[in-house]
Amino acid sequence: MTTLPKLSELTSSERRELFAYLRTAITHHSNAMEGVSLTYGETKRLLEEGFTAPNKPLSDHLIILGFANAFDEVVLESYARQPLTTSFIKDLHATLFKTALAACPDKIDKPVGAYRTDERYIVGLSAPLASPRQISNQLENLLYVNQPKSMQDIAKFHIDFELIHPFAGGNGRVGRLLITYQSVQNDLIPPLIENEHRKDYLNAISDPAALTDFLYEAQKQSYHFVEERHQQNKQDREPDIELDL
């Protein structure tokens, strides 16, 4: 298995370019996995230029913007190396959905920024989800017991978080944001989980070893961007050679 560099081993320019890229890429793919209709190009234009996509729902645009804001919070807070808290997780959920909720309340599962109050089930999942009265204690216990230091720990945390399923909607998106948080917190390149690999991701989410392997491959996808940029910058620096014929 190829060892990837730590975040701190990248240059400041490489880190800046990587996070700018991941802000768009993770925002697009994480939301596409949940049915948001904007393409990668439309997501990029919305986030970088403020252009909306014609004939696409307002709620989809607002969720994209909310997710990007939540991503910014994740990167900022993770560099502080502070342990995760339930209040931060609820704040992330609120950041993700509050604007869309205000404009399109019929499109967003409620409550936002608070734990769900009803029983939930996932089709095809044999393990039970936490009941509403168990959510607070189970999440507090998860944060206390599992303080990830490696991608293997992060994979286990992600599975446990999704089984608690604390919110009425957006659990997958919040969970994937936490993968980014914990990766940066531990000096790891954040994985890019692409919508094209959604089935593989869902198949791996009940098996810590399989999810660890999946996340490592997703890390390599993120690092591939760094390698491409490095190669492009190298080519840009190479002088043109004029031949006398």
Output the domain CATH number for residue 204.
Answer: 1.10.3290.10
Burial class (CB in 10 A: 0-12, 13-18, 19+), 10: middle
Q: Give domain status of residue 229, yes or no.
A: no
**Domain count for the chain:** 1
At residue 1, the pLDDT reads: 61
Out of 165, 197, 224, 230, the active site residue is: 165
Q: Give domain status of residue 202, yes or no.
A: yes
User: How far from each other are the two terminal CA atoms of the chain, in whole angstroms?
Assistant: 49
Find the domain containing 168 and state its range: 11-223
* Nearest-angstrom CA–CA distance, 190 and 186: 10
Q: Give domain status of residue 41, yes or no.
A: yes
Q: Give domain status of residue 44, yes or no.
A: yes
Question: Which is higher by pLDDT, 146 or 159?
Answer: 159
Q: Give domain status of residue 135, yes or no.
A: yes
Q: Give domain status of residue 43, yes or no.
A: yes
Q: Give domain status of residue 27, yes or no.
A: yes
Of 32-41, 55-64, 124-133, 150-159, the one with minimum mean pLDDT is 124-133
Confidence of residue 84 (pLDDT cuts 50, 70, 90): very high
pTM for the whole thing? 0.93
Cβ(99)–Cβ(66) under 8 Å?
yes
At residue 218, the pLDDT reads: 98
* Nearest-angstrom CA–CA distance, 25 and 239: 32
Q: Is 165 a catalytic residue?
A: yes
Cβ(34)–Cβ(201) under 8 Å?
no
Q: Give domain status of residue 145, yes or no.
A: yes
Cβ(143)–Cβ(88) under 8 Å?
no
